[in-house]
Amino acid sequence: MQFPKRFHRCEHGRPQGYTLLEMVIVMLTLGIVASVAIPRYTASLNRYRTQVAVQRLAQDIELCRRHARFTSQNVTLTVSFAKSFYRISSVDSPLRPGNPYEVVVGDGASVGAICPVVNGIVSSGSRTLSPDLNIVFDRYGNPNQSAEIGIRCGTATGIVRLSAEGVVTRS
């Protein structure tokens, strides 16, 4: 009897193949590699999401300043810690003209959230107790107050700082 080319007979006359023990060893090895790789991948993904959200918030604060200077009108940035979003007054959404410019950061839970910064640390609990933050940029682009806004995604955190002079920094 002629076997297909992928099945060759060994010297004992049985077809060659993988034993159950070999398959178990391969599956255990894959399981160990996955148990190490998945948490690292998740942490990396959370850091990336946090960096992107921090960068976007910093750019949107700059948008507020430029829009206030360009139009010579006050522009208000409202940050809601409870609902994890921010809104820019008098700026239309680029995706939905006629609607206000709003950005929702994550789902407010594990995917991402805007949190208040307490003593330089992004707080993780009781966001609902913190009031909304309203920053008004005058017609010269100067904010009425300095602020620290934190973004948390999993264990990764980032902070956007706005100085009283209007300088935006990220960390």
Query: For residue 132, what is the DSSP state?
Result: P
SS3 11: coil
pLDDT confidence band for 105 (50 / 70 / 90):
confident
Whether 93 has a pLDDT exceeding 80, the answer reads yes
Q: Would you say residue 125 has pLDDT above 70? A: no
Query: Over 80: is that where the pLDDT of 16 sits?
Result: no
Contact present, 39 and 47 (Cβ < 8 Å): no
On the question of pLDDT at 110 being above 80, the answer is no
Is residue 112's pLDDT more than 90? no
Provide the residue ranges of all domains of the chain, joining segments of one domain with +. 20-170
Kindly state the average pLDDT of the residues 27-47: 92
The residues, ordered by sequence, that sit 6+ positions from 17 with a Cβ below 8 Å of its Cβ are 7
Give the least confident one: 1-10, 64-73, 146-155: 1-10
Q: Given the DSSP bridges, would you call strands 147-153 and 113-118 parallel, antiparallel or unpaired? A: antiparallel
Q: What is the pLDDT of residue 88?
A: 92
- CATH superfamily of the 20-170 domain: minor pseudopilin epsh domain (3.55.40.10)
pLDDT digits (tens, 9 = 90+) for 134-155: 999 999 999 999 999 988 888 8
Helix (H) or strand (E) holding 64: helix 20-71
What number is the average pLDDT over the span 27-44?
Answer: 93
Q: How far apart are CA 28 and CA 36, in angstroms?
A: 13
Place of tokens 């009031």: 131
**Contacts with 68 (C-beta within 8 Å, 6 or more apart), sequence order:** 74, 75, 137, 138, 139, 140, 141
pLDDT class for 23, splitting at 50, 70, 90? very high
How far is Cα 83 from Cα 151, in angstroms, rounded to an integer? 13
* pLDDT for position 138: 93
